Chain A
Amino acid sequence: MIECYIQCFGALREINDQGVIIHKTNFPCTVADIKEELSSVVPEAFRGLLKVCALSQGDRLMNEQDQLVSGDELSLLPPVNGG
């Protein structure tokens, strides 16, 4: 298992003091796998939001079936509302 640091944004920043989820998983895995795993470790208040979050790696927005081969630069992205 590899430990990865998932940066949280928006409302998910308030998941803890750092706004980061440290999560151990096996790579390769899909985005859907990671979200499923996270749903059992994040506080209950954030589980609904997690379902509608996207995940990015670096500057790439991932879809649920995309395979992750590393935990580098992962971000959890709640629904957006800029401007």
Chain B
Amino acid sequence: MINQQYQVSFKSGPVVSGDLNFSSHKSHGAACVFEGTVRDINMGRKVIKLCYDINQKLAQKIILDICLEASERYNCPEAVVSVIHSWGELKVGDISVLVRVGTPHRREAFNIAQYVIDELKHRSPIWKKEFYSDGDSGWLKGHTLCQLAHGDSGKEPRSPV
């Protein structure tokens, strides 16, 4: 049941909307799609491309857990959630991640989509390296997973970053 309801996949290179695999339900009156794209500037530096690295086996497990948590948190057991994240090189404007949430009503769709993308950014084993116009490059700092291993997994919704 969970595997049909929540789907997580990874793709080499940019994601396109047709890559997202999801089931339509006649009882669902709302669908919310979040699309993350590569920006051309970060912390004041001109970005020309990104490279994503993923521990796919662990990421699959963690993102599925996040989808289940989101449905429980917003009391929406009917929610259907699909997530696809890219790995490898992406250029500015490419889509790096898509989250699609289908629910009976719109409020749950918005809330679950926001929860899933916020938690994915904080908890999933995904890393990105930026390449800048001046020839420099660097892996971005991020959120340590050490606390998560101790069970601190999204007790409160996070502020978007």
Residues in chain A within 8 A of chain B (CB atoms): 7, 9-11, 13, 52-54, 56, 58-64, 66, 73, 75, 77-83
Contacts and interface: CB of A to CB of B under 8 A. Distances in A.
How many B residues are at the interface, by size bracket?
35 or more
10 contacts: A9-B127, A10-B139, A11-B127, A52-B146, A54-B144, A59-B61, A80-B145, A81-B141, A82-B52, A83-B126
A81 B145 contact: no
Nearest to B85: A82
Nearest to A19: B53
Per DSSP, chain B at the interface is mixed
A82 B141 contact: no
Nearest to B57: A59
Contact of B149 (A11, A61, A79): A61
A82 B121 contact: yes
A58 B121 contact: no
B97 interface: yes
A77 B124 CA distance: 10
A78 B142 contact: yes
B41 interface: no
B148 interface: yes
- Among B55, B85, B143, chain A packs the most CB atoms within 10 A around the CB of B55
